[in-house]
Structure 1
Amino acid sequence: MKVLVTGAGGFVGQALCTRLESADDIEVVGAVRALPAQAEGSSSLVAVGDIGGHTDWSQALSGVNVVVHLAARAHVLNEQSKDPREAFRRVNVEGALALFQQSIDAGLKRFVFISSIGVVGGSTEGKPFTESMPSAPHADYAHSKYEAEEALKALSQSSGVELVIIRPPLVYAAHAPGNFARLLKLVALGVPLPFGSVINQRSMVALENLVDFIALCIRHPAAAGETFHVSDDDDVSLPQMLKLLGRGMGRNVILLPVPTGLMALGAQLLGKKNLYTQLCGSLQVDATKSRSLLGWQPPVSAELALMQAGKNFRRSHKQGG
C-alpha cells in the first residue's frame, strides 16, 4: 500500500509518517510545501508549493492508494491577512478539493481528511459533541473545515472514492504548538498560576493516540464513508492538566483560587476572550463511535501522556539550554 501524507513536515504529519514507515507493507510519500535542505534528493518527500485550488499534486499522487490530508492553514496567532476567511478557504477548502479531484483521476481508493472538532462548536455545556450533532463552526478556521467536509462528501458520493473524516480536539505533546505550548511554558516557570477555581472538562487527544487512530482509519473497512470524533480515554480539567504536566517536569504546581469571573473580565478587557474560553471553558467530545465501530482504544492514557509531555518538555529544554 502506498500512502500520501500531506503536511508531512508539520506537528502531526511528522509523527504519522514515522509511524507508517514502521509498517512493512506501507510505502509513505510525504508532501511538503518546500523540501528542507537536508531532505533534497529524498524519494519519500515531494514539494508541492503553496496549497490552493491550482496546486499540482500529480507527482505526489503517483501510484498512491490512500491519501491522509493533514496540510491546512490552521489557527494564526498574529493574523496578517486582510481577509482571513478567504485565506482559510483558499488553503483548507479549495486546496482540499483540488487534491481530492486529482486523487479521483489518479485512481485513489481512500481519502482520510483531518478536520477539526471546531466544526461542531467551540464549547460544550454538559453534553459532549457527537458526530450526529448539527455543525456550528465558531471561527474562520472551523468554517473552512466545515465547508471542506461538505464539498468532499459530495465528491466522494459521485466518484466512489472512500472518504473518512476525523475531527480531533486539541492535539498535544511536548512540542505541540499553540495554547498547549503556552501551558507548558507557564508550568516550567514554576510560578503560582491563577487557575485554582477553574472547574471545567476538556477532551484532548495525545499525538500518539491521534496517529494510532489515523493509521487504523487508513486500513479499516468499516471506516469508509464515516466521520469520527477522537479523544483520549479521560477528559481533564485545566487544574488537573497543569498538575500532571508539573508532575512530569518534577514541579509542584501551585494554583491560586482566583475567581473565574474576574479572570473572564480581565481576558475580555485585554481582548483575550477566546483564549480564556479555550483554556477555562469546557469542550467535551463523545468518541464512542471510534471505539464501537472500529474497536479502537487509545494506546496511552491521558494521565500518562500529559506527564510524558511535561517530562519531554523539561528534557528538551535542558538539552537546548
Structure 2
Amino acid sequence: MSHILVTGANGFVGRALCRALCDAGHTVTGLVRRGGGVEPGVSEWIEPSADFAALEAQWPAGLAADCVVHLAARVHVMHEVSEDPDAAFHATNVDGALRVARAARRHGVRRFVFVSSIKAIAEADNGRPLTEDDVPAPEDAYGRSKLAAEQALVRYGRGSGLEVVIVRPPLVYGPEVRANFLRLMDGIWRGMPLPLGAVRGRRSLVYVENLADALMRSAIDPRAAGQCFHVADTDAPTVAELCRALGRHLEKPARLVPIPESLLRLAGRLTGRSAQIDRLVGALQVDTTRIRTVLDWHAPHSTDEGLAATARWYRRTRGGSGC
C-alpha cells in the first residue's frame, strides 16, 4: 500500500478521493489551509501560507509520501475582483503547484498527479470528442493557468525525475456539488421554466466518485507515469437530458422550454453573457480512450447512478430548506 499526500483534501473532490484511498487501505495525509473537514482516517496537515510559499520549510518531519495528488487551486471566480485575473490564477495554479512539486521531490516523493481541467485545452469540441493530443486553446484565465501549470510541471518532471501525471476532468458533479450544477438543481426543484429544451449539444461530465477512482489509479499504477488522461463518465448527455434525469431523481419534473439555440445566443450577445451561453449550448465531449487503454480503467458508476446519488443528497440536505 502507498502513502498519498492530497492537497485540497477538505474540498469537494478531495474528500471523495480521500475516502476512496482510505477504503482501499492506503495511508493518506491531507494538506489543507484551514483545519477541519477532512475525512476520518486522514492525517491533517495545516499549512496556511498563500500559494504554498512556506511549504518547503514546513514539511513535517517523518512525512514520507509516495505520491502527491494536487487538487488545491484557484477555481472559477463568479465576481472577479482582481485587476489582473491571469496573474492571480498563475500565482496559485502555476507557481503554487510548482512549489508543491519541488518540495515533494526534495522529500522523496516519486509521483505527482496534477488535477487540471478540460478547460486547459478547449471550451467546445468542434464536432468530435477532445483527445489529450489536441492543440490547446484555453479561453479564460483559469484554463490558461491550468495549461501553463501542466507545461511547467512536465518540464520540471523531466529535469528532476518526478513522475508527473496530468488528469483533465470536465464538469464534476455529485453530493455536495456547488456552483452552476447546484443552481440547476435549485431551478428544477423550484419548478422554474428552463429555456434548455432545444439544446442539442452533448457535454461530458464526471461523477465525483468516478473521478476519485481514476485519480487513485493514476497515483498508484506504474503505467500512469508520464501520462495525460481525460476522465469522464461513459455517457455525455445533452443539457435537456441532464435536466430530465435530475428531475426524475428529484421527483420534480424539469420544466423545459424549447427556445431555439440561435435565440439563446442572441440573448447572450445582448446581455454581455455570450461566453456563458456558448458554454451552455455548445458541445464538449471528451475522449477517454487513453485512460481506458493504458490503465484498463472504466468508470465504476453510471451517470444515472451518479445523478441519483446527487439528487438523494439534495433532497436530504436542501430539499426542505426552501430552495
Matched, 1:261 2:262: yes
Q: Residues 82-93 of structure 1: matches in 2 within 5 Å?
A: 82-93=83-94
Aligned AA (1:163):
V
Question: After the TM superposition, which of the residue ranges 117-126 and 309-318 deviates more from structure 2?
Answer: 309-318
Aligned match of 2:118: 117
> Is the 1:55–1:95 Cα contact (8 Å) retained in structure 2?
no
Aligned AA (2:248):
R
Q: Distance in 1 between matches of 2:6 and 2:17?
A: 8
Aligned match of 2:95: 94
Matched, 1:48 2:38: no
Q: Distance in 2 between matches of 1:306 and 1:43?
A: 27
Could you state the TM-score of these two structures normalised by the residue count of structure 2?
A: 0.93
Q: Distance in 2 between matches of 1:34 and 1:118?
A: 27
Aligned match of 1:193: 194
Aligned AA (2:73):
A
> Is the 2:234–2:302 Cα contact (8 Å) retained in structure 1?
yes
Aligned match of 1:59: 59
Q: Distance in 1 between matches of 2:22 and 2:293?
A: 27
Q: Distance in 1 between matches of 2:59 and 2:109?
A: 14
Aligned residues: 317
Q: Distance in 1 between matches of 2:110 and 2:250?
A: 44
Cα 1:163–1:60, aligned 2, differ >3 Å: closer, same or farther?
farther
Q: Secondary structure at the match of 1:52?
A: helix
Question: After the TM superposition, which of the residue ranges 15-24 and 94-103 deviates more from structure 2?
Answer: 15-24
Q: Secondary structure at the match of 1:164?
A: strand
> Is the 1:172–1:206 Cα contact (8 Å) retained in structure 2?
yes
Q: Structure 1: give runs of 5+ residues left out of the alignment.
A: none
Q: Distance in 2 between matches of 1:197 and 1:205?
A: 23
Q: Distance in 2 between matches of 1:102 and 1:311?
A: 41
Aligned match of 1:235: 236
Q: Residues 245-284 of structure 1: matches in 2 within 5 Å?
A: 245-284=246-285
Give the fraction of aligned pairs with identical amino acids, expressed as a percent. 39
Cα deviations by residue, 1:102-146 (Å, 9 ceiling, x for unpaired):
111101111000001111111112111101111111110111111
Q: Distance in 2 between matches of 1:28 and 1:144?
A: 27
Q: Secondary structure at the match of 2:92?
A: helix
Could you state the TM-score of these two structures normalised by the residue count of structure 1?
A: 0.94
Q: Residues 27-176 of structure 1: matches in 2 within 5 Å?
A: 27-36=27-36, 44-52=43-51, 54-57=53-56, 58-59=58-59, 62-176=63-177
Q: Structure 2: give runs of 5+ residues left out of the alignment.
A: none
> Is the 2:28–2:42 Cα contact (8 Å) retained in structure 1?
no
Runs of 4+ aligned residues of structure 1 deviating over 6 Å after TM superposition are none
> Is the 2:18–2:42 Cα contact (8 Å) retained in structure 1?
no
Aligned match of 1:301: 302
> Is the 1:31–1:60 Cα contact (8 Å) retained in structure 2?
no
Cα 1:43–1:287, aligned 2, differ >3 Å: closer, same or farther?
closer
> Is the 1:165–1:226 Cα contact (8 Å) retained in structure 2?
yes
